[in-house]
C-alpha cells in the first residue's frame, strides 16, 4: 500500500463521524452500572452555553476525557456527565441586543454545543445531561432555598452590597475581583449600595470550611480559601463612652490593651453621630460625607495618607481607666470586626502612622527582646514582654493575650472572640434570567415561604427583561401579585432571582438522576456514585464555585441528603489557554481561537492530542497553532503502523520490542495518573518512531502483540484513530471496551546500559556495559577507555563513585 493511499485512508471528517455514529448507536458510553466494579465519578466543570465551543473548552475537557477513558479501561465503572449552566447574564444581554428571548438564545446555543461536544470524541454520558434553566432543575434550587430558610440559613437583611452598574444587579462579595473591585463578569468597577437582600449563612460553616483534611485539593486552592475565610482569633473588648454607653472593639492583640492611646470608629459606624460633641459635629459630618462619596478604590488605597477627625468624645480604657480620644477615620472599615478599634500605635503599623500624623502618644507596652528602651522608630508588631501594663508587667505577650482576655471576662468587659473576613453569601440578583426566589410577602403574615408542593415558582416567559436596576419580575403583575399561602389574602412575590452560582453548587448531584421528581436527586443512586472522585476545572473559581459547593454539601449532609462532608475528593486545576497575543481570549480582543477550523483540517484526535502535548496541563499558556503539524504527523505515522507494510523478517531483537512496549505502557499509565499528558504523548511518539523503525524486521506474533498494546494505550488520547486501527487489525469492537494493558516490571529492565564515565565530575566517555556490571568491573572498563586515560594518567585516583547501572566518577588529583 502506498503512502498516498494511506493518507487518503484517514480522512478525519469521514472516519471520526463514522465512529461517533457507531459509538452512539451501540450505546458505548452509556454509564456502566456494574456493582462489581469500583466506581469512579469524573467531573469537568459545568460549561456555560455561550454559543460555540472554543478552544478553551477543548483544553479543559479532552484531557479529562482521556483520563476518564483510561479509568474505564483500568476496570472502573466510570460516570462522566456533562450539562449546561444555562441561567445567567450573557443570555439576557444577547437577548436585549438581538431582540430574541433568553431561552431561545440559550437553547440554540445548547443545541449547537451538543453537536460540538460529540465532535470532540468524548465519552460523556449524554443521558445524564442537566440544563439548569429547566424548571425540573431550578425547582430544586427553590427547594434548597426553602430548606435553608427553615434552618435559618437563608435570611433577608438590609446590607451594604456591591452593585454592578453595567449589569444592573448586586453581586456576592466573591464576585468582586481585585484591588480595583470590579465585577467578575464584565469588569466594571462596582459601587456600594444599601439594599434589602437575601443571604445564605455560609459564615455558620466558616470553621468547617477551613478544614481540608478530607480532600486532596491543590495547596493553592486551599490557601486561597483559607485566606478568603480569613479567620482571626482575639477578643471583643468593651470601651465605655461616658454619656453614651459601651462600644465594642475587636482585637487580635488584647495583650496590647494598656497601650491603647486613642480609639477609632469607621465613618459608617452608627454611633458616630451620637457621640460627637456639638463643637465637632460640623467637621465630623463633612468627613463622614466625604468618606461616603469616595470610591471604594480610593478608600482602600494603602499608599494614601491616613486621615481622620476628632469627635470630641472620649472612651474609657477598661484596663487602666484612662480616657482616650475617639476619632473617626476611614482606615477603619465597617465591614470587619465591630467597625471600631482600640488604637495601639506602638504595636500596630496603621495606628502608628495615624498617631504620628496627629501627635498622639505612642506608648510601648510590649518590650521587644533586647530592647534598651527609648522611642520606637516604627511599630513593633512582634512578640515580647509586657510593660507599662500594671499587674501584667513581665508577662510574655503570647501568654498575655489569654490572661488579659480572662481578666476582662471576669469583670464583664470583654470575651474571647473569633472574627472572619468571610461574609454571608448574597444570592439576590435583580435580573430576569435566573431562578425566582420562592418567597411571598403578605401584609398580614409577613415573609412567607412558598409551600413545597407549589414548587416550582415558574419564571414567566413573557416578562419585560430589560434591566432597570429593579427586578424585571416586579414589572410583571401576573407574577408579582399573588395570594398568601397562609391566609389567602393579597400578597406579592419576591422578585429577585438567585445568583447562578446556586445552580452550580449542587449540579454534580443532579447528574445522577436529572429527571427525578421526588427530591433534588435519587439518594439511592447517590449511594452508588457519590462523592465526585476527580474534579477538574480552572482555578478562577477557587473562592466562588468551589467554596459554595463545599458549603452546599455540608448543608446537604446536615439535611440528611448525603453522608459525607466534601463534594469532590480530588481536584485538579488545569491552566488556561490564552490567545496568541498572550491575553485572555475574548471576542472584544479578537483573539479567540476557533477549534472548528482545526477539527475540519486535522480532526478531533489531532486537536485533542495537540492540546495535551503543548505543555503541562496545569500551566496553560498562549495558543500557538504551529506545532499542530507535528501531532498530525504523529497520528498519521501511527496509523501507517497498521496500514503500512507488515512483518517480513525477524532481525529485530524481540526482547527489545517487548522491553520498549512494557516501558511505554508503564510510562503512559503513570503519566495519565499524574495528569502529565504532555510527556505521555511524547512517549507515544517515541514508541511510534521506534515501531516504524523496526517495522518489516519483526516476527508476526511479536509485531501484532506490540501493535495491540500500542493501540490500547493510544485509545484514551486519540479514540477515533485507535478505534479505526483496532478495526483494521481485525479485532472485535470496541477498543474502548478493552482492558488496559499491564506491564511487567521484569521486562522493563535493560540488559545493557550506557555507562557514563566522569573524571572529577566531567563527562569523558560513554561505554556500553551489561546492566548488572559490578563496581570493580565498571571502574576497570572506565580506566581502559582511551578517552578517559589522558585525564587520569599520571594522577592519583583518590576516590571513585559508582552509581549502579548509571555512572562511574573518578576523582583524581
Q: Which parts of 423-482 interact with RNA (CB under 7 A)? A: none
Q: Please, which of residues 766-785 interact with RNA by CB under 7 A?
A: 766
Among 331, 380, 433, 509, indicate the residue that binds RNA (CB under 7 A): 331
Among 382, 527, 621, 701, indicate the residue that binds RNA (CB under 7 A): 621
| Residues 6+ away with beta carbon under 8 Å from 793 | none
Give the nearer residue to RNA in terms of CB position, either 173 or 474: 173
Q: Which of 663, 730, 534 is nearest to 66 (CA)?
A: 534
Give the nearer residue to RNA in terms of CB position, either 59 or 511: 59
> What is the closest distance, in whole angstroms, from the C-beta atom of residue 221 to RNA in the complex?
10
> What is the closest distance, in whole angstroms, from the C-beta atom of residue 102 to RNA in the complex?
28
Q: Please, which of residues 522-581 interact with RNA by CB under 7 A?
A: 543
Give the nearer residue to RNA in terms of CB position, either 243 or 621: 621
Q: Please, which of residues 597-616 interact with RNA by CB under 7 A?
A: 613-616
Q: What distance in Å separates the CA atoms of residue 464 and residue 477, rounded to the nearest whole number?
A: 11
Stretch of residues binding RNA (CB under 7 A), selected from 41-49, 70-78, 154-162, 803-811: 803-811
Q: What distance in Å separates the CA atoms of residue 505 and residue 140, rounded to the nearest whole number?
A: 12
Q: Which of 446, 549, 555, 538 is nearest to 494 (CA)?
A: 446
> What is the closest distance, in whole angstroms, from the C-beta atom of residue 620 to RNA in the complex?
8
Question: What are residue 66's phi and psi, to 5 degrees?
Answer: -60, -45
Among 38, 178, 519, 527, indicate the residue that binds RNA (CB under 7 A): 178
The total of other beta-carbon atoms located within 10 Å of residue 697's CB is 15
Among 37, 416, 636, 704, indicate the residue that binds RNA (CB under 7 A): 636
Residue 196 engages RNA in binding (rule: CB under 7 A)? no
Report DSSP letters for 294-337, one per residue.
S-HHHHT-TTSPP-EEEEEEEEE-TTT--EEEEEEETTS-TTST
- 811 bridge partner residues: 799
754 and 766 in contact (C-beta within 8 Å)? yes
> What is the closest distance, in whole angstroms, from the C-beta atom of residue 626 to RNA in the complex?
4
Stretch of residues binding RNA (CB under 7 A), selected from 276-284, 508-516, 522-530, 676-684: 676-684
Sign of CA pseudo-dihedral 275, 280, 282, 286: negative
Q: What distance in Å separates the CA atoms of residue 603 and residue 597, rounded to the nearest whole number?
A: 9
Stretch of residues binding RNA (CB under 7 A), selected from 139-147, 226-234, 453-461, 522-530: 226-234
Q: What distance in Å separates the CA atoms of residue 764 and residue 775, rounded to the nearest whole number?
A: 18
Stretch of residues binding RNA (CB under 7 A), selected from 200-208, 464-472, 500-508, 799-807: 799-807
The total of other beta-carbon atoms located within 10 Å of residue 489's CB is 11
Q: What distance in Å separates the CA atoms of residue 794 and residue 808, rounded to the nearest whole number?
A: 19
Give the nearer residue to RNA in terms of CB position, either 335 or 446: 335
Q: Could you give the string, one character per residue 90-119, with x where binding to RNA holds by CB under 7 A and - elsewhere?
A: ------------------------------
Q: Could you give the string, one character per residue 504-523, with x where binding to RNA holds by CB under 7 A and - elsewhere?
A: --------------------
| Residues 6+ away with beta carbon under 8 Å from 234 | 250, 251, 252, 253, 254, 401, 416, 417, 418, 419
> What is the closest distance, in whole angstroms, from the C-beta atom of residue 710 to RNA in the complex?
14
Residue 36 engages RNA in binding (rule: CB under 7 A)? no
Among 763, 774, 784, 797, indicate the residue that binds RNA (CB under 7 A): 763
Among 341, 408, 530, 781, indicate the residue that binds RNA (CB under 7 A): 341
Give the nearer residue to RNA in terms of CB position, either 162 or 499: 162
Among 155, 336, 371, 733, indicate the residue that binds RNA (CB under 7 A): 336
Among 142, 175, 317, 419, indicate the residue that binds RNA (CB under 7 A): 419
> What is the closest distance, in whole angstroms, from the C-beta atom of residue 301 to RNA in the complex?
6
Residue 787 engages RNA in binding (rule: CB under 7 A)? yes
Among 106, 197, 709, 758, indicate the residue that binds RNA (CB under 7 A): 758
| Residues 6+ away with beta carbon under 8 Å from 466 | 96, 472
Size of the site for RNA (CB under 7 A): 86
482 and 493 in contact (C-beta within 8 Å)? yes
How many residues would you count in the chain?
Answer: 813
Residue 177 engages RNA in binding (rule: CB under 7 A)? yes
711 and 723 in contact (C-beta within 8 Å)? no
Among 685, 706, 714, 725, indicate the residue that binds RNA (CB under 7 A): 685
Alpha carbon dihedral 30, 36, 38, 44, in 10-degree steps, equals 10
> What is the closest distance, in whole angstroms, from the C-beta atom of residue 798 to RNA in the complex?
8
Q: Please, which of residues 252-311 interact with RNA by CB under 7 A?
A: 252-253, 266, 299-302, 304, 306
Grid cell locating 514: 436529572
Among 332, 360, 439, 612, indicate the residue that binds RNA (CB under 7 A): 332
Q: What distance in Å separates the CA atoms of residue 445 and residue 314, rounded to the nearest whole number?
A: 45
Give the nearer residue to RNA in terms of CB position, either 491 or 807: 807
Residue with grid cell 477609632, as numbered in its chain:
264
> What is the closest distance, in whole angstroms, from the C-beta atom of residue 774 to RNA in the complex?
17
Give the nearer residue to RNA in terms of CB position, either 704 or 787: 787
Residue 388 DSSP SS3: coil
Among 106, 168, 251, 549, indicate the residue that binds RNA (CB under 7 A): 251
CA angle 427/428/432 to nearest 5° reads 120
Among 150, 624, 700, 776, indicate the residue that binds RNA (CB under 7 A): 624
Q: What distance in Å separates the CA atoms of residue 660 and residue 678, rounded to the nearest whole number?
A: 19
- 414 bridge partner residues: 237
Give the nearer residue to RNA in terms of CB position, either 353 or 658: 353
Among 26, 108, 227, 481, indicate the residue that binds RNA (CB under 7 A): 227
Strand order in the sheet with 446-449: 446-449, 439-442, 490-493, 481-483
Stretch of residues binding RNA (CB under 7 A), selected from 76-84, 230-238, 501-509, 715-723: 230-238
Q: What distance in Å separates the CA atoms of residue 431 and residue 475, rounded to the nearest whole number?
A: 12
Residue 243 engages RNA in binding (rule: CB under 7 A)? no
> What is the closest distance, in whole angstroms, from the C-beta atom of residue 453 to RNA in the complex?
42
Amino acid at each position: 500500500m502506498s503512502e498516498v493511499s494511506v493518507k487518503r485512508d484517514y480522512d478525519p471528517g469521514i472516519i471520526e463521524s463514522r465512529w461517533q455514529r457507531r459509538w452512539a448507536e451501540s450505546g458505548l458510553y452509556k454509564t456502566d452500572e456494574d456493582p462489581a466494579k469500583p466506581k469512579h465519578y469524573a467531573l469537568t466543570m459545568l460549561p456555560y452555553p455561550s454559543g460555540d465551543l472554543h478552544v478553551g473548552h477543548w483544553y479543559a475537557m479532552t484531557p479529562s476525557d482521556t483520563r476518564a477513558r483510561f479509568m474505564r479501561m483500568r476496570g472502573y465503572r466510570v460516570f462522566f456527565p456533562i450539562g449546561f449552566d444555562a441561567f445567567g447574564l450573557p443570555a439576557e444581554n444577547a437577548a436585549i441586543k438581538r431582540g430574541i428571548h433568553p431561552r431561545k438564545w440559550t437553547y440554540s446555543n445548547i443545541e449547537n454545543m451538543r453537536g460540538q461536544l460529540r465532535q470532540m470524541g468524548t465519552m460523556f454520558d449524554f443521558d445524564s445531561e442537566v440544563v439548569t434553566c429547566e424548571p425540573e432543575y431550578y425547582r430544586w434550587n427553590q427547594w434548597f432555598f426553602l430548606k435553608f430558610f427553615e434552618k435559618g440559613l437563608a435570611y433577608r437583611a438590609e446590607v451594604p452590597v456591591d452593585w454592578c452598574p453595567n449589569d444592573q444587579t448586586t453581586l456576592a462579595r466573591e464576585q468582586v475581583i481585585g484591588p480595583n473591585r470590579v465585577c467578575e463578569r464584565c469588569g466594571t468597577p462596582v459601587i456600594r449600595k444599601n439594599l434589602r437582600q437575601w443571604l445564605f449563612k455560609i459564615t455558620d460553616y466558616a470553621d468547617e470550611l477551613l478544614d481540608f483534611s478530607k480532600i486532596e485539593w491543590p495547596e493553592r486552592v486551599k490557601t486561597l480559601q483559607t485566606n478568603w475565610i480569613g479567620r482571626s482569633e482575639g477578643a471583643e473588648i468593651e470601651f465605655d463612652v461616658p454619656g453614651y454607653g459601651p462600644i465594642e472593639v475587636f482585637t487580635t492583640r488584647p495583650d496590647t490593651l494598656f497601650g491603647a492611646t486613642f480609639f477609632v470608629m469607621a465613618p459608617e459606624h452608627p454611633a458616630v453621630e451620637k457621640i460627637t460633641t456639638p463643637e465637632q459635629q460640623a467637621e465630623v459630618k463633612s468627613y463622614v460625607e466625604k468618606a461616603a462619596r469616595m470610591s471604594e478604590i480610593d478608600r482602600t488605597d494603602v499608599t494614601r495618607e491616613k486621615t481622620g477627625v476628632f469627635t470630641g468624645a472620649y472612651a474609657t480604657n477598661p484596663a487602666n481607666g484612662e480616657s482616650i480620644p475617639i476619632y473617626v477615620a476611614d482606615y477603619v472599615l465597617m465591614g470587619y470586626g465591630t467597625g471600631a478599634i482600640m488604637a495601639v500605635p506602638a504595636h500596630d503599623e496603621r495606628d502608628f502612622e495615624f498617631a504620628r500624623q496627629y501627635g498622639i502618644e505612642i506608648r510601648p507596652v510590649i518590650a521587644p527582646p533586647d530592647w534598651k528602651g527609648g522611642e520606637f522608630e516604627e511599630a513593633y508588631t512582634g512578640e515580647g514582654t509586657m510593660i507599662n501594663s500594671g499587674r501584667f508587667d513581665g508577662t510574655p505577650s503570647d501568654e498575655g493575650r489569654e490572661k488579659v482576655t480572662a481578666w476582662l471576662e471576669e469583670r464583664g468587659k470583654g470575651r474571647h472572640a473569633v472574627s472572619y473576613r468571610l461574609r454571608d453569601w448574597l444570592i439576590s440578583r435583580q435580573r430576569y434570567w435566573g431562578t425566582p426566589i420562592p418567597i411571598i410577602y403578605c401584609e398580614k403574615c409577613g415573609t412567607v415561604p412558598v409551600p413545597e408542593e407549589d414548587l416550582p415558582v415558574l419564571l414567566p416567559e413573557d416578562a419585560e427583561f430589560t434591566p432597570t436596576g429593579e427586578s424585571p419580575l416586579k414589572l410583571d403583575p401576573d407574577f408579582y401579585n399573588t395570594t398568601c399561602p397562609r391566609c389567602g389574602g393579597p400578597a406579592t412575590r419576591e422578585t429577585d432571582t438567585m445568583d447562578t452560582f446556586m445552580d452550580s453548587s449542587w449540579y454534580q448531584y443532579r447528574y445522577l438522576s436529572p429527571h427525578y421528581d421526588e427530591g433534588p436527586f435519587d439518594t439511592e443512586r447517590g449511594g452508588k456514585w457519590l462523592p465526585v472522585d476527580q474534579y477538574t476545572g480552572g482555578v478562577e473559581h477557587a473562592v466562588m464555585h468551589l467554596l459554595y459547593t463545599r458549603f452546599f454539601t455540608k448543608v446537604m449532609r446536615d439535611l440528611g441528603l448525603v453522608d459525607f462532608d466534601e463534594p469532590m475528593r480530588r481536584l485538579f486545576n488545569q491552566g488556561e489557554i490564552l490567545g496568541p497575543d498572550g491575553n485572555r481570549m475574548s471576542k472584544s480582543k479578537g483573539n479567540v481561537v476557533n477549534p472548528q477550523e482545526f477539527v475540519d483540517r486535522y480532526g478531533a484526535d489531532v486537536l485533542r492530542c495537540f492540546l495535551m502535548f503543548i505543555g503541562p496541563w496545569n500551566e496553560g499558556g498562549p495558543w500557538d497553532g504551529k506545532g499542530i503539524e507535528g501531532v498530525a504527523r504523529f497520528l498519521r505515522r501511527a496509523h501507517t503502523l497498521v496500514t503500512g507494510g507488515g512483518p517480513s523478517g525477524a532481525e529485530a531483537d524481540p526482547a527489545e520490542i517487548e522491553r520498549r512496549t512494557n516501558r511505554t505502557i508503564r510510562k503512559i499509565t503513570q503519566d495519565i495518573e499524574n495528569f502529565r499528558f504532555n510527556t505521555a504523548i511524547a512517549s507515544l511518539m517515541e514508541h511510534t518512531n521506534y515501531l516504524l523503525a523496526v517495522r518489516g524486521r519483526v516476527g508476526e506474533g511479536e509485531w501484532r502483540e506490540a501493535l495491540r498494546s500500542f493501540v490500547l494505550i493510544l485509545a484514551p488520547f486519540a479514540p477515533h484513530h485507535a478505534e479505526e486501527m483496532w478495526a483494521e487489525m481485525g479485532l472485535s469492537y470496541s477498543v474502548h471496551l478493552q482492558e488496559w494493558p499491564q506491564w511487567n516490571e521484569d521486562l522493563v529492565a535493560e540488559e545493557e546500559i550506557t555507562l557514563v564515565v566522569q573524571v572529577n565530575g566531567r563527562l569523558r566517555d560513554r561505554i556500553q556495559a551489561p546492566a548488572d556490571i559490578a563496581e570493580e568491573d565498571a571502574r576497570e572498563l572506565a580506566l581502559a577507555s582511551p578517552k578517559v586515560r589522558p585525564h587520569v594518567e599520571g594522577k592519583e585516583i583518590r576516590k571513585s563513585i559508582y552509581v549502579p547501572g548509571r555512572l562511574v566518577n573518578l576523582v583524581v588529583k
